[in-house]
Structure 1
Amino acid sequence: MVMIWTGFGRTATAVAAAAIALAGCAATETGGSPAKPRSAEGLRYLGQPLLQDIYIADPSAHVFDGRIYVYGSHDVDGTTPEDDLGSHFEMRDYRVVSFDRIGGKPTVHPVALDVRDVPWAEKQMWAPDAARKNGRYFLYFPAKDREGVFRIGVATSDRPEGPFKAEPKPIEGAYSIDPAVFTDGDGASYMVFGGIWGGQLQRWASGRFDPNGSNTDLGRNDAPALTPRIARLRDDMLEFAETPRPLAIVDEAGKPLLAGDHDRRFFEAAWIHKHDGLYYLTYSTGDTHFIAYATSRSPYGPFTYRGRVLAPVQGWTTHHSIVEVGGRWYLFYHDTQISGRTHLRNMKVTPLVHEPDGTIRTIDPFVR
């Protein structure tokens, strides 16, 4: 998935240097192949993979008690033929990665949750997220049930790295993929979720799953684009406190972005963060491979499109998180630098800058 980044000075240099050092760790799942220094087009990468011994994608980063924890998809090389619904993304468990600082040595923790230990799930443990409340840690994850429908579940632990124990049923009212949880300054937590095409969001347009529904909204170019859903979580963080609602994404005139607006409309991978009182909704545009962003004065929106966070990376998918670490903001993302294969992705990190006017400085994943 996923104008030109002009650099962040010493901070960017330090992060890149640390990432390059991390890329030298021993490889196992990657077959021992070191990360290539340049893309097939001869471009140098902005950053180097944070890991080279395991494929972790869709990185969702959080800081708990001063340590960085990253929750992501554990990519594996399966046997399912590739298709445009993502059937070849066969992920079946989660591994948490932690760092004591940006550029620090990574720790890859034991399996946090396996699909075999989720009573309702059958396969495809896609992009997760995590949250903490009252000393408990919550892992939110999508998976297909035995009818092939993506649901979103939750698992709990007393440790940020797990192991996590899954609730016996998925979250009532949750569907599709890519759950991301944002906790506001007042302590209220919200889940934003959804993804079209293989993520099945379009099949929930009526509020109930329609297996014969439109395969996508992309063919209805003049219709408002599908948007992610949001719902406030109950205090126990295990269920919704309200019915999920669409998050409106509008242009500068206040009109909904249209399905045919491929450079700006939502596809998947929604994430919310807050900076200087402004809520930022960031998301992938899918087939145009941008991470875009929109802003609002409320977590419920409407969100006004503002621009791009990240230009296209190497590889089809783009999925990210944005987190503040030690007073600085960072973008975690992934590409296919090591494998060159769409479904085997490696995570990266780079500094992110909020400009004084509320815009975000666009990042180019290559040094040009």
Structure 2
Amino acid sequence: MKLNRFILFLLILPVLAQAQTSGNPIFPGWYADPEAIVFGKTYWIYPTYSAKYKEQVFMDAFSSKDLITWKKHERIIDTASVKWANKAMWAPSITQKDGKYYLFFGANDIQSDNELGGIGVAVADKPEGPFKDLLGKPLIDKFHNKAQPIDQFVFKDKDGQYYLIYGGWSHCNIAKLNKDFTGFEKFSDGSTFKEITPEGYVEGSFMFIRNGKYYFMWSEGGWTGPDYSVAYAVADSPMGPFKRIGKILKQDPEVATGAGHHSVIHDAKKDLWYIVYHRRPLGEKDGNHRVTCIDLMTFDKDGLINPVKITKEGVKKNKL
């Protein structure tokens, strides 16, 4: 009898071990450009629905208490509630302010100042929405400093000031959001959009603060190719100047390709850092076949980010 129980234990041991890690991808479906964030005791991920541009007319969100089990929140926003958007809803970025949740998103993939689209902002009372268009028009609808208005990231500085960092086509801008997120305040020199493009920048900006330093991260390479990757720079201010340090996330031909367009979350109590990103499963040829994954991100003694090892296992269970 004891022998049978021992054999049974050995059989279920791999299942128990697997249940303690997230696995990659962390939830099913084609999803890209994930922004991960913590609200209270819950992890949230807001990705792009990865499909043909004309099918990208909504966004889903996912929540988890432990990084293992994820709940899907369907259609937190769609083009029915954003009258000026009709396709290519991309790269959501979210923040909480004064009891409201503000979701910044790109739409329509505009190619010039003569088209309707750009970066919008929506608002909701809960992180799962439903989100409604705040302005009834794009927040940014022009190419400033040659930056395509996509891939926005809302960043809260130490002094409470909110910034929007964004840009495609190898140009990145930073702009100072006003208090109700309906527009922008000017910088002291009278400008509204400051270019902070580091060497190698393509798209997918993200920023965080660690030990008083500003870490600015972005994606490089073509998003449909295997060499899509993430690099970073460090500065003493969100305005830079940012000097490129190097790549920290890229493909592993034995695991997955096209690892890029990421975000970072931090468990401050345990000082654990996670990178959430998309990648393409091996053998997939469709550019839109991207999945959302998570892996551990660490630093060396000098505060530089160690190269991330992309895994099939993901990360261990972690409740906040």
Same-fold call, TM cutoff 0.5 = yes
Deviation at 1:152, TM superposition (A): 0.2
Asked whether 1:285 is paired with 2:285, we answer no
Q: 1:137 to 1:296 in 2, by over 3 A?
A: same
Asked whether 1:61 is paired with 2:36, we answer yes
Aligned partner (choices 224, 227, 232) of residue 171 of structure 2: 227
Amino acid at match of 1:19: S
Q: Secondary structure, in 3 states, of the residue corresponding to 2:94? A: strand
Listed as ranges, the gaps of 5+ residues in structure 1 are 1-13, 21-47, 79-87, 197-225, 250-256, 258-264
Alignment match, 1:93: 58
Is this contact kept in 2: 1:248–1:301, CA < 8 A?
A: no
Q: 1:16 to 1:56 in 2, by over 3 A?
A: farther
Q: 1:16 to 1:248 in 2, by over 3 A?
A: farther
Alignment match, 1:72: 47
Alignment match, 1:261: none
Q: What is the TM-score with the length of structure 2 in the denominator? A: 0.78
Q: In the comparison of the two structures, how many residue pairs are matched?
A: 272
Alignment match, 2:318: none
1:165-196 alpha-carbon deviations (Å, 9 max, x no partner): 01301114665210011111211111110111
Q: Secondary structure, in 3 states, of the residue corresponding to 1:95? A: strand
Is this contact kept in 2: 1:121–1:145, CA < 8 A?
A: no
Alignment match, 2:26: 50
Alignment match, 2:183: 239
Deviation at 1:57, TM superposition (A): 1.3
Q: 1:62 to 1:306 in 2, by over 3 A?
A: same
Within 2, Cα distance between the matches of 1:309 and 1:98?
A: 26
Any residues of structure 2 matched to 1:97-136 within 5 Å, and which? 97-103=62-68, 105-136=69-100
Alignment match, 2:316: none
Is this contact kept in 2: 1:331–1:351, CA < 8 A?
A: yes
Q: 1:16 to 1:322 in 2, by over 3 A?
A: farther
Deviation at 1:116, TM superposition (A): 2.6
Within 1, Cα distance between the matches of 2:151 and 2:194?
A: 16
Q: Secondary structure, in 3 states, of the residue corresponding to 2:261? A: coil
Asked whether 1:155 is paired with 2:122, we answer yes
Any residues of structure 2 matched to 1:198-237 within 5 Å, and which? 226-237=170-181
Alignment match, 2:239: 300
Alignment match, 1:169: 137
Indicate the structure (1 or 2) with the bigger Cα radius of gyration.
2
Aligned partner (choices 264, 267, 273) of residue 322 of structure 1: 264
Q: What is the TM-score with the length of structure 1 in the denominator? A: 0.69
Within 2, Cα distance between the matches of 1:125 and 1:248?
A: 24
Is this contact kept in 2: 1:98–1:106, CA < 8 A?
A: yes
Q: 1:343 to 1:315 in 2, by over 3 A?
A: farther
Within 2, Cα distance between the matches of 1:339 and 1:178?
A: 27
Q: Secondary structure, in 3 states, of the residue corresponding to 2:36? A: strand
Amino acid at match of 2:108: K
Q: Secondary structure, in 3 states, of the residue corresponding to 2:26? A: coil
Within 2, Cα distance between the matches of 1:270 and 1:154?
A: 17
Within 1, Cα distance between the matches of 2:276 and 2:109?
A: 29
Deviation at 1:102, TM superposition (A): 2.3
Please identify which structure carries the higher strand content: 2
Within 1, Cα distance between the matches of 2:19 and 2:281?
A: 14
Is this contact kept in 2: 1:15–1:350, CA < 8 A?
A: no
Aligned partner (choices 277, 292, 309) of residue 364 of structure 1: 309
Within 1, Cα distance between the matches of 2:213 and 2:263?
A: 17
Is this contact kept in 1: 2:31–2:47, CA < 8 A?
A: yes
Deviation at 1:117, TM superposition (A): 1.9
Deviation at 1:158, TM superposition (A): 0.6
Any residues of structure 2 matched to 1:176-187 within 5 Å, and which? 176-187=149-160
Within 2, Cα distance between the matches of 1:89 and 1:308?
A: 32
Amino acid at match of 1:307: G
Superposition CA RMSD, Å: 2.4
Listed as ranges, the gaps of 5+ residues in structure 2 are 1-16, 143-147, 187-191, 313-320
